Structure 1
Amino acid sequence: MSAPSTDIAILGGGLSGGLIALALAARRPELRVTLFEAGTRCGGDHVWSYFASDLGDGAELLEPLVAARWDGYFVRFPRRQRALRTAYRSVTSERLDAVLRSTLPAEALLTGAMVTEVTRNAVTLADGRIFSAHAVIDARGAAGLPHMAGGWQKFAGQMLRLKVPHGLTHPIVMDASVAQADGYRFVYALPFTSDAVFVEDTYYSDVPELDLPVLRQRIAAYAAAQDWRVEAIEYEETGVLPVVGAGDFDAFWKAGREPGVARAGARAGLLHPLTSYSLPIALRLAVHLCTLDKLSGDAVEEACHAWAREHWRQGRFYRMLTAMLFGAAAPDQRYKVLERFYGLSEPLIERFYAGQSSPADMLRILAGKPPVPLGAAIASLRGKGRPLAPLGNLR
């Protein structure tokens, strides 16, 4: 019996793999796409958020995935509070899984599919099945980022069901008025409904270890301080993400390369070096892959490699800021960097999060009295952080 075949095999039904599958289904319907996900559903248990200003072509692909949307957001710091007008959106794993199931043919979405071997033209599963493919894209995340250095953004988040409405009209994207601990700490609060709020306790830390019991206690304390009476915790997520300050891209790519197998998402280093945002970057790659004339394994691998290399080149400024944040500021004083940043113009802030800062933006961010000692800022560029491998909890 011949092996089942597909044009494009996508490994990993998380954000990056899911968006590639949805983009190909919408824009290249003539192609047979098969998505392999090791879990019981796609996306795991996550909330991914983005600013509407992050997006360009392909924004319509995200619309069915959006679980909540707001026309602005708040930030809070010890000496600054600000309301910004940029539209903000959140995507949930539940919506991603549902849209993939409704969009792809049943035989094109395989959950519980543990991949044991990959070549440029074949995928082997733990149950012995072998699928042939014209091209394979590996989007299964990463166990680390070898040959890169920086710090960590780690967090625990809970969806809280409240006994009475919380009163929030817009999300609090960054509340750094909380006590600082383990680096730069802030709380993130998304009001999904009038009595449900997603609260995430986040740290820009020098170490990747996450003390979940402590973070749970701090989330409970934050909710109590807002006078939110919690009826139930509906779900919980955790994560430890790399914040990249330096690295050797060519060595990184070579270390994880399987000839003829393309890479996407964190496996390709496709995340914002300082914020760890990945959704807009994942969408851009998904849209780009739809424009390729040739979709052989080698051609798709070459396209993903070129895309990731250009992303690395364009991230130089953000890596420098990462190195300065971790190397120049005392851990409990890092909030001052972001406090100052949020005093800048709203269009500049939008371009920063989109990873599209102009030369003038870069000069403005660096101009004026620095919130960290100048000598320490210069010295920090020599060290540039801790190695970012291995790591087992990237999302």
Structure 2
Amino acid sequence: MRKRLLALTMMSALTVTAFAGCGSDKSNTQKPAGNAASAENPQAVSLKLWTSEEDYELTEDMCARFDEAHPEYKCDFEITIINVDESVEQLETDPDNAADVFIMPSGSIPQLVEEGLVYPITYDADTLKGLYSEGALDACSMNGELYGVPFTPNSWFMFYNKKLFNAEEVKSLETMMAKDLGDDTYNFACSLSNSWYIEAWFYAAGCTLFGEDGTTPDDCTWNNANGLAAGEYIIDLVNNPKYIEDKDGIAGSLMKEGKLGAICTGTWGYPELLEALGDDLGAVALPTVEIAGKTANLSNFADYKCFAVKSNTSAPLAAQQLAEFFANEENQLLRYQKNSTPPTALSLTDNADIMSDISTCALLAQTEFATPQPAISQINAYWTPAEALGTGIVNGEITKANLQESLDSLVQSVTTKAFE
């Protein structure tokens, strides 16, 4: 009779263990091809998994269904709660004890590939190409190899209060900022001191980061005339009394109180905003801006959360199959139904329940205007200088008088070899 070991390990070191599995034989390693295991001769496989706290029960259920679908294996699953924002650091810190299958942002793939820490997803690769969009697969690939199975977009868009803006007004940030909402109400909020947000203005201005296709490590045009115009636009926006920087939750609180017209955030902010505003809550792609003599939509990084496999797993075939199973259409739908996680499966874009969700629709709409996050390890050199630029502008330390100098410094830092 088959049993399973499910260990729930919290970061606080509190561990809860449930038993339903048979013992594993770690000496029995598995090769990606040539597996002779069968239902009559099942192979003992031990797999460690990382998942979020909110997805724990769902992951438990998925493991049980994977077990049923693969009688050729006799599985032990050890499930540990490690959130996606911690997974990369945990893998780098202790790869031998890391999960065999885990969730990570697609933007981490270049770094982990160069460090030799992730296994390429080669099992049933042709089928995968028909399940997800080209953009999602490209975001999870490097040098023509797929290293993660995308299951949800990982980006941001804009929520707005329908009592303060109408659907036409939220198409343009200039229109939004020109409207008088009253002395105690802000028009717009974003996190310009955050390097995951500030790039949207530079991309809208026509600037590039690591070249046109994001693969040239010594190329960044943020300090050219268009970049200077983008920086000046941001300075004017931050200094506008109708703008408020989204930090420490202040903008979200104002939005829920009806004292903010629009806020840039992601699907994670939807439940609380919906509870507070109800039918008055709207969600759309990011607005257009007028920079450097042209009008363009704000263009943020296109990124995805994906299931990946560590490179030194003892069961690469089963691990790949499990990663693909976790991200398949059925489980993406279950994840949406349980936790409102937007899917990437092409077949679900026509699902009536999913497309009635305004946050999911807005997120998918924004992917049309987003710019793929550069898939090279040089991206590691971007985050800190970009954050310093945004923070300096928000704090008033960077002004139009020293902006060009600050942009020159940013470009030098961003294009310096990341691992020198």
TM-score of the superposed pair, with normalisation by structure 1 = 0.24
Q: TM-score, normalised by structure 2?
A: 0.23
1 or 2, which has the higher strand percentage?
1
Structure number with larger C-alpha Rg: 2
